[in-house]
Structures are given as C-alpha cells and as structure tokens.
Amino acid sequence: MAAGSESKLQLVHRHIRAFPDFPKKGILFRDICPILKDAAALTAVIDLFEEHVRNNHQQVDLIVGLDARGFLFGPLLAQRLGIGFVLIRKKGKLPGATVSVSYDLEYGKAEAEVQEDAVAAGQKVLLIDDLLATGGTLYAACELMKKLQAEVLGCMVVIELKELNGIDKLKTHNVFSLVQY
C-alpha cells in the first residue's frame, strides 16, 4: 500500500469512536459520525474506496448502497467513478414495483428490497455499507442483486468486525474493508 494510502487509513481509523454497551450491554459500538463531520476523513474514505475500485475492477456499472449508511458513502464514490448509484432499502420504503429478499437477524427476520428496474441483467455492481458484522445484511443484498441477474463484483465496508465472522457468510464474494477490529 502506498504511503499516502497508509496515512489516509490512519486518519480514518482515528475518526472511528468506540462506545461500550451501546445499543445494549456487551456491545462495543463503532461510530462513524466523526468521519462524516471531518472533511479530510470523509475524503480519505472515498479516496481509499476509489483507489480499490480502480485497481481491482476494470468495469463497474453501479454502486449499490445498503440502507442507511451505505447511502452516505455510495453516492460520493459513484460520483467519483462517473457511474450511477442504487439504493437497497428496508421493505416498504421504495415506491413502484420492487424485488425483495428475506433474511435472518440475531433477533428475528427482516426484508430488503430494490426497485425492480434499478439494475439490469448483466450489470456489474459493487455493494457498499459502513459495517460488516454478522454478514446477514450484505449477504441478503448480494442475493437481491442475483435475483436481478446482476454480476456482484464485490462488497466494500468502512469497518469489519472480525470476531463476528461475517466474512464467512460472504465467502463467495470479494470483501474489501478499510478498518478491521
């Protein structure tokens, strides 16, 4: 990794706060809000994602962001790359005809959806979110893209919580994380 990239990673890392026992006892919450309020840190995140995409994916048609924090980084990256951005939302939040997929959470089930005309068959997509924890949401998003016959090139996250082994659910996909805990 280039020296500039290393210093950008350090900047990003310094702007992630930890909150013990949030949202419940025993959870160490990783907060990205300091990244968002610091122009240099936010620029560093997008620079690092852009560098990864340009070095590893020759053709990308769309960036696909997961509800809701993927919406913070995805449009900025898509704009840099000169490509479009697509939303994956929680069920019931998108107008028009949608395609959905159900997935398991630690405490129940959830559904994610995308507008059925958001991605054309064969389009090459990269998924983006702020965090990879157990992998359920990103896996569901990949399955949703498969339903639309898109080619999932990989997934990108700001933070990966390695002890939760979310990468195991995504083993058939390339996952790029900026910071690992």
Active-site residue set: 69, 106
C-alpha torsion 47→49→52→58, nearest 10: -100
Radius of gyration of the chain (CA): 16
Please state the φ and ψ torsions of residue 175, each to the nearest 5 degrees: -120, 125
Total number of residues shown for the chain: 181
3-class state of residue 121 by DSSP? coil
Q: End-to-end CA distance of the chain: give it in Å, rounded.
A: 19
- The CB density around residue 44, as the number of other CB atoms within 10 Å, is 23
How does DSSP assign 2-69, residue by residue?
A: -HHHHHHHHHHHHT-EEEET-SSTT-EEEE-HHHHH-HHHHHHHHHHHHHHHHHH-S---EEEEETTT
